[in-house]
Amino acid sequence: MSNNEISWDKVDPMISSSEQTIDSDILDEMVEELSLYEYFTDYENLDLVPTGHGMYTAHCPFSDHEDIHTRSFTVYEDTHSFFCFGCQRGGKVFQWLTDPAGKAMHFLGAVSLVASITGINPNLDPIAALDKLGENINKSLEQKPQDYLSKEELNFVVSRLGYLHIKSSQYDHEEVLYVEEIYKVLDGALLHHEQYVGRMVEVKNALLVKIQERKDILKKAD
């Protein structure tokens, strides 16, 4: 990568085009939409007894829980969570669904189940995913005094955005290749920080232009 050029060279794909991926923000929305009280009573036939302030107790439903006499399992409607004071397990609905002593479901199967209950689609389409990527880059590389980001700040940006974005979006093989181009530029700017230390706005604008170009291509394809 030269001093004056932002490279858009292709890199090899890192993720199979057949890999189904889930948007993490929408998972949070699904958790908030689902009533744990209704789920455990309707789908698990759990005898939940109200104790006030949006809390309910029951005998622990985990299959390896030994104490069958104490109502140690508590559901908290305000935080959309549960906790067993006996076996010390807790979390959101996905922790119950994927725990070997719970429903022992594969994570994608658990997501599909909660999606069917809430009616929320957990996957982002490519254009929406690109919009989200652009927003994150714009926010992360916002102009600083003298257009400067320290190496530590830039490393944080690359780490936070990074390839995790690909894993949080519904991309096909071609989209994976494209988004990897975006992150190759960020990785290159980090690797050659001394060359790019005062050019963060230029880097950001170049990335946003490429994202818009890709969105235009996808819209025309529709």
| Stronger pLDDT, 185 or 85, i.e. the higher one | 85
Q: Is residue 6 part of a domain?
A: no
d(CA 48, CA 125): 38
Residues 137 and 113 in one domain: no
pLDDT at position 110 is 86
pLDDT at position 153 is 72
Mean pLDDT of 137-156: 70
Q: Is residue 190 part of a domain?
A: yes
Does pLDDT of 27 surpass 50?
A: yes
pLDDT tens digit sequence for 3-17: 444 443 432 222 223
- pTM for this prediction: 0.52
d(CA 84, CA 86): 5
Strands (E), the chain: 49-52, 55-58, 73-76, 81-84, 90-91
Q: Is residue 15 part of a domain?
A: no
Which distant-in-sequence residues (6+ apart) come within 8 Å of 71 by Cβ? 49, 57, 58, 59
Does pLDDT of 168 surpass 80?
A: no
Does pLDDT of 42 surpass 90?
A: yes
Residues 137 and 208 in one domain: yes
pLDDT at position 2 is 44
pLDDT at position 11 is 29
Q: Is residue 151 part of a domain?
A: yes
CATH number for the domain including 80?
3.90.580.10
Local confidence band at 120 (pLDDT 50, 70, 90 cut-offs): confident
What average pLDDT is seen over the chain? 76
| Stronger pLDDT, 77 or 137, i.e. the higher one | 77
Which distant-in-sequence residues (6+ apart) come within 8 Å of 52 by Cβ? none
Local confidence band at 188 (pLDDT 50, 70, 90 cut-offs): confident
Mean pLDDT of 28-46: 93
Q: Is residue 58 part of a domain?
A: yes
Q: Which of 28, 32, 111, 97 is nearest to 61 (CA)?
A: 97
Contact 208, 134 (CB under 8 A): yes
d(CA 155, CA 134): 18
| Stronger pLDDT, 124 or 218, i.e. the higher one | 218
| Stronger pLDDT, 177 or 164, i.e. the higher one | 177
Count of the separate structural domains present in the chain: 2
pLDDT at position 144 is 63
Query: 123: which DSSP letter?
Result: P
Q: Is residue 37 part of a domain?
A: yes
Q: State the Rg of the chain over Cα.
A: 23
What are 85's two structure tokens? 């004071």
Which distant-in-sequence residues (6+ apart) come within 8 Å of 142 by Cβ? 204
pLDDT at position 22 is 62
